[in-house]
Amino acid sequence: MGRARDFAVAMKKREKSLQGKRFPLYFIGKRFLTPDSPRTFSHYAAPSFHSGKARITMPITLTELADAAGVSLATASRALNDSAHPMNKETKRRVLALAQELGYRPNLMARSLKTERTFAIGIIVDDIAGAFTPLVLRGIQDYLNEHHYFSVVINADWNPETETEAIQNLISRSIDGIIFVESRLRDAQPMLDTANKPYVFAHRLFGGAKSNSVNVDDVAGGRMATEHLLILQHRRIGFITGRKGWNASEDRLAGYRAALKHAHIPFDRALVIEGDWEMQSGYAAAKKFLQMSDRPTAIFAANDLMALGAMYAIQEAGLRVPEDIAVVGYDDREIAGLARPLITTVSLPCYEMGQRSAELLLQLLEKKINAVEPIRIPGKLIVRESSGALRAKMPLAQYITRTSPRRSAVPDKPRRKEKGRA
Q: What pLDDT does 9 receive?
A: 61
CATH code for 218-348+382-405? 3.40.50.2300
pLDDT tens digits along 249-295: 999 999 999 999 999 999 999 999 999 999 999 999 999 999 999 99
Within 13 A of 175's CA, how many CA atoms are on the CB side? 24
CA distances for 104 relative to 44, 95, 384, angstroms: 12, 10, 47
Residues 235, 214: contact at Cβ < 8 Å? Answer: no
**Superfamily of domain 114-216+352-377, CATH level 4:** Response regulator (3.40.50.2300)
Measure the CA–CA gap between 169 and 173, rounded to whole angstroms. 6
Which candidate, 219, 97, 135, 119, places its Cα nearest to that of 177?
119
The pLDDT-based confidence of 107 (bands split at 50, 70, 90) is low
Please give the full DSSP string across 140-165, using - where no structure is assigned.
HHHHHHHTT-EEEEEE-TT-HHHHHH
- Percentage of residues of the chain with pLDDT beyond 90: 48
Q: What pLDDT does 54 receive?
A: 44
Q: What pLDDT does 70 receive?
A: 87
Which helix (H) or strand (E) segment is 353 a member of? helix 350-365
Q: In what order do the strands lie in the sheet with 237-241?
A: 272-274, 237-241, 298-301, 326-328
pLDDT tens digits along 367-384: 877 888 899 999 999 999
Burial 138-171 (b: 16+ CB within 10 A, else e): ebbbebbeeeebebebbbbeeeeebbeebbeebb
CATH code for 2-105? 1.10.260.40
* Statement: residue 248 has pLDDT above 90: yes
Q: Indicate if 218-348+382-405 has the same CATH topology as 2-105.
A: no
The domains of the chain are located at 2-105, 114-216+352-377, 218-348+382-405
pLDDT tens digits along 203-242: 988 776 678 899 999 999 999 999 999 999 999 999 999 9
